[in-house]
Amino acid sequence: MQKKGNKYGVHRVVEPLGVLPQPANKIDNNMDEIYDNEILIDVKTLNIDSASFTDIKARAQNNHEKIKEIMFDIVAKQGKHRNPWTGSGGMLLGVVEKIGDALIGKTDLQVGDKIATLVSLSLTPLRIDHIKEIRPEVDQVDIDGKAILFESGIYAKIPDDMPEKLALSALDVAGAPAQTAKLVKPGDTVLIIGAGGKSGMLCCYEAKKRAGVTGLVIGLCHSQKSTERLQKLGFCDVVFSADATQPVSVLEKIEEITDGKLADVTINNVNITDTEMTSILCTKDSGIVYFFSMATSFTKAALGAEGVGSDVTMIVGNGYTRGHAEITLELLRESADLRNIFTELYA
């Protein structure tokens, strides 16, 4: 008889007791027995959050053996892969191995289904047995291991019409384009910071679709390579490269592009720190700043906006919005250019 589990996975929390799995310092990652409302996953690939993997690579000086050591150590200490320096996790690709008795008939999953979890690794019980391959350029790590999906956990079945690594790369950032679809209105001026990355390109495409011919989509990229790539894709009206940690110089550029009107909506997708004020200053009063980036300091954002007298509405980058997986996968089906670049870069 399987033990009865809590819907949100509180039964797996070791320390401190009473908190949810995400903020917990340690959770139980014993996979020998599962609770009645859990799904056991045979893990194939970890898609590490961009802010987290950028940090890990820097600490390991891009040495793959040191990256492995850091990842093993994180999981050994916490029972999950929550980066202790960034607080972020990622998500995983795997195969359903076992379904708890209480979920039989209540889930559309079956043993053998390939799924991507759409909840963070920062709350997912995880056991890494072996790290097989590290692909630092796409933030993916192939492993042998097991993981638990709680009853409240969300997931997406891997579709049959695209490679699993392609689907995984897009689902990892599914919240960003789906939130963009909700925020951007026809005629809006939209600034996307970190526009040349994975979430950035999806947001650019979705923003242009929503803003329409009367809108203006501006893409800010970090490198010349990503700038040229985004220019060729044609998803933005204006693309330029700049250091997003330098708010004054970026503001001057945005003022020039918009004739001083600034952005109605700014979407921050970067994987580095100290870009909060650039996002705030470039957005008009009563405008919206959406911080999808897990490198964001919400203390810096809140106090910084107050300090410059900015009345922007700031939205925490919730990685989930209803239908986000379906919306994002549909973008890859809708745009051959988007699918081709994602295939080239991430699959």
169-212, pLDDT tens digit by residue? Answer: 899 899 999 999 999 999 999 999 999 999 999 999 999 999 99
Instruction: Looking at the chain, list the stretches that DSSP marks H as alpha helix, in order from N- to C-terminal side.
Output: 50-59, 64-78, 164-171, 175-183, 198-211, 224-233, 247-258, 276-281, 298-307, 324-334, 336-346
Quick: pLDDT tens for 304-319.
Answer: 999 999 999 999 988 8
Tokens standing for residue 163? 């490679």
Q: Is the pLDDT of residue 33 over 80?
A: yes
- Cα–Cα distance measured from residue 281 to residue 304, given in angstroms and rounded to the nearest whole number: 10
Q: What is the pLDDT of residue 266?
A: 98
Say whether pLDDT at 345 is over 80: yes
Amino acid at 150: F
Residues facing 291 on adjacent strands: 268, 316
Name the amino acid, one letter, at 264: D
User: Do residues 247 and 300 make contact, with C-beta atoms less than 8 angstroms apart?
Assistant: no
pLDDT of residue 320: 84
Cα 92 to its chain centre, rounded Å, is 12
pLDDT band at 295; cut points 50, 70, 90: confident
> What pLDDT does 318 receive?
81
Q: Report yes or no: 121 and 145 within 8 Å, Cβ to Cβ.
A: no
The sheet carrying 155-157 orders its strands as 126-135, 140-149, 39-48, 90-99, 114-117, 155-157
Residue with the two structure tokens 């009367």: 214
Question: What is the tens place of the pLDDT at every residue in 216-266?
Answer: 999 999 999 999 999 999 999 999 999 999 999 999 999 999 999 999 999
What are the sequence ranges of the domains in the chain?
A: 10-158, 175-346
| Cis peptide, bond prior to residue 163, ω within 30 of zero | no
pLDDT at 112: 97
% pLDDT > 70, the chain: 100
| Interval 60-75: pLDDT, tens | 999 999 999 999 999 9
Q: Calculate the average pLDDT of the chain.
A: 95
What would the 3-class secondary structure string for 6-64 be?
CCCCHHHEEECCCCCCCCCCEECCCCCCCCCCCEEEEEEEEEECHHHHHHHHHHCCCCH
Global pTM value: 0.87
pLDDT of residue 324: 93
Average pLDDT of the residues in 117-126: 96
pLDDT level of residue 294 (50, 70, 90 thresholds): confident
| Domain range 175-346, CATH class | alpha beta
State the pLDDT at residue 293: 87
